[in-house]
Structures are given as C-alpha cells and as structure tokens.
Structure 1
C-alpha cells in the first residue's frame, strides 16, 4: 500500500487550478471519472491522496473497516460496481471527519444529503438513495481498482470539484501541477487581454475562420 503524501501547498494548488485545467494539462484521458459522478452540494472541492476500496453491490462493510485504516488527509474512493444505494450517510460522515478523512468519491449512492451539506463534507457520488445496505463482504481495501473509467491506486492524487472528479497517478502529479500552473497563468493573461478589448478569435489564432461564417 502506497504511503504517498502531498504537502499543503500542492493540495492547495490542485484545488485552485481545478479539475478542468488539470485534466487538460495532464494529457491523460483515462484520469477523468464518469461524468455522472457529481458533487452532492454546490461548491464542494477536495484534493488529497486516494485510498481506494471496493464494496459488493448493496453492501458497505468495506467502508466501515476502511475507516480504521485510512490515513488522515486521504480521499476515500469507493467502487460499488455502479450499484446505487445509501452506502454513506451522516453517521459515516461524522466518523470520517473525526478520522481526518478529506472527502468521499463513490460510484454508488449516498443519503442524508441535508446533513452532509450541513457538515460541509465533500462528497461526490453517482446518485442519492434512501435505501440502506447490508454488511456481509469485503472485496478489497487499499488495493488498486478500476473506478468509473479511471484506474486508481493508493496515493494517487484525487481532485474533485463542481466540474467533476480527476485521478492523477502519483508518478505524474508534479508534472501535471507544473503544466496546470502554466496553463492557468496563460489563461489569466488571455483574460486580461479580453478585458482590454481583444477577441477570442485573435487570441486563439482563429482569424482564418472569419470568412467561414
């Protein structure tokens, strides 16, 4: 199991750059998870090392056991095979906050949405379901998994916000952050020039298409 850690400045930089900029900078089409996995409450964002686990459909025992092993500051990445049920609610949210968990990304479902929002705990999920779960099996905790179209291993960097969820392999985090910052700075200069009256056609080198319209 990886012990990859990121310093506070890296995590803050990742949150500031955001998923869209980092995805474009990464060049990794497999890093973006299924677009149906969205934030529970608008404005939620999180960046932290992944702690992956698998649940059997309709069974959340693996989550409860993982809560005793997850390193502080981690983002739980929970695969359920896309089965939507209430794997997570207020009880696990309170436990996660106490354990120092940074957030949750799950391809199943959650419930107690008002409570999750009130706690301001970042949750990204495929759906919302009042239906509860059983506790009978533990497919895997901490092992690499395929998560909603993206491979994820313990220690990979998870970045999630209103635009979606991104998994950056640990070996490519530094390069992706550097390229993302360069892209962010370039776009900031473009914004300044737009405010001064220039157009996107000129700034993006699209002038040859003016006659096409």
Structure 2
C-alpha cells in the first residue's frame, strides 16, 4: 500500500456545508434517497452536537495513530477529521491532546471507526466526536498510512473535501459535487414534513395521508371485532 499525505484536495463550499448541517442528518439522508449514512456503529460520545464540515481523511493501521498526527497539519477551519483503520480497531486512538490541537486549527469535530478516550475532557472542551468505541487502550506511532485519500466508512466512500454531517442521529457523507442538490432536496423534505405535521395536528391519520389502507388490504390485513378474533 502506497503511503501518502495529499496536501491540497478540493473541498466543498464551506458556507453551503454549514447550511446543510442545519437540516440534520436524517433529513439530508432521506432527501438524497437514503444514501450516505455512515452506519449505526458510529455514535456521538455526547448528545447535543450538530456539525457540518469538509472531510480530512485518515487511513491508519489499527492501534497506531501516527497518521492522525500527520493529518493535524492538513486540517483547517471548517474541517472534520474522518479516521478509519485498515482492519477493525477499538483502541483509543484519539483523545484530549489531539482535540486541543484540532480546535486551535478550527476543526469542527471527529468521525472515527476506531475508539476514542478522554471522553469527559472532550465533552468539557466542547469538541464533538462520533466514534466506533470508547476505550482507554493506548496506541503506538510506528506504521505509515495515508492522509487525504478516499476511504470507506460504513460501506460509504468518503473522499477528502466531501461534506460530513453529524448529529445525535449519526454521521453521513455528501459528495462535494452533490451539496447543491442536497440543499434543494433537504428543503423540499422539510416543506413536505411540515405539511404532514400540520395534517396530523388537524387529525388526519397516516393511514389516510399515505394511502396505506389500500396497502393493508393488498397485503391481506383484515379488520375484525374482538369477538370475531376470539372465535
């Protein structure tokens, strides 16, 4: 495997990515046809954060955080560090010291398939993290990997400069060329959901709004009285 640090990848427009994050992961994910979700294995270490930024990607060997150190130099305002390993790893590869360095550079958060530690400190300093594990297990700095190359997270391809969104529902990637489309589709979904919300407030049932009575009948679901069911 060739080990490289790519220093100048193109990035999605940060203002648009910041706006996209306001819609939330679930809305953007649905608006894009249920694509881009980075999987249920990534959970926030603390609830209440919502971020959007441009990906700086890291491919590391398990239990080795050397390339995270290399990645810090490549990070700037509005970035989100995205770290994965060449094979599954739950070791605590990231902690408060890394977060201190990244906060200084304007990085908005971390998404990693590996583990993190110093969780209380990360929470106190307000550095959002979505991780595959929490672990005190330490790491080494011995093996080369790569920075700002395409990586795979949760079955999704993440390229450097793509939009990364994360909140209490998880994390997702939006390819940088799809950010404009994501903004349009997310707003359309918000409008549709507000119309549905108002219909529910007015007493309409989902069975009727979504035309599900015919679906139930098609699937052979019958309405019977309790007496009929008991007999």
Normalised-by-shorter TM-score class: over 0.9
- Residue 45 of structure 2 aligns with which residue? 40
Q: Does the Cα contact within 8 Å between 2:91 and 2:136 map onto a contact in 1?
A: yes
Q: Could you report, residue by residue, the CA deviation over 1:32-79 in whole angstroms, capped at 9, with x for unpaired residues? A: 112111111011221111111111110001111110111321100101
Residue segments in structure 1 that go unaligned for 5+ positions in a row = none
1:210 CA drift (Å):
6.1
Q: Does the Cα contact within 8 Å between 1:39 and 1:124 map onto a contact in 2?
A: yes
Matches within 5 A, 1:1-213: 1-8=8-15, 10-27=16-33, 29=35, 31-80=36-85, 81-209=87-215, 212=221, 213=223
For the aligned residues, what is the CA RMSD? 1.6
1:141 CA drift (Å):
0.6
User: Counterpart of 1:17 in 2: which secondary structure?
Assistant: coil
The normalised TM-score by structure 2 is: 0.86
Q: Could you report, residue by residue, the CA deviation over 1:91-111 in whole angstroms, capped at 9, with x for unpaired residues? A: 111111101111100000000
Query: Which structure has the larger Rg?
Result: 2
- 1:7–1:51 Cα change, 3 Å: closer
Q: Distance in 2 between matches of 1:82 and 1:103?
A: 21
User: Counterpart of 1:48 in 2: which secondary structure?
Assistant: strand
Q: Could you report, residue by residue, the CA deviation over 1:117-148 in whole angstroms, capped at 9, with x for unpaired residues? A: 11121100000010111011231011111223
1:155 CA drift (Å):
1.0
Residue-pair matches, total? 211
Q: Distance in 2 between matches of 1:73 and 1:138?
A: 26
Q: Distance in 2 between matches of 1:142 and 1:207?
A: 50
Q: Does the Cα contact within 8 Å between 2:91 and 2:114 map onto a contact in 1?
A: yes
1:209 CA drift (Å):
4.4
Q: Does the Cα contact within 8 Å between 1:6 and 1:48 map onto a contact in 2?
A: no
4+ residue runs over 6 A deviation:
none
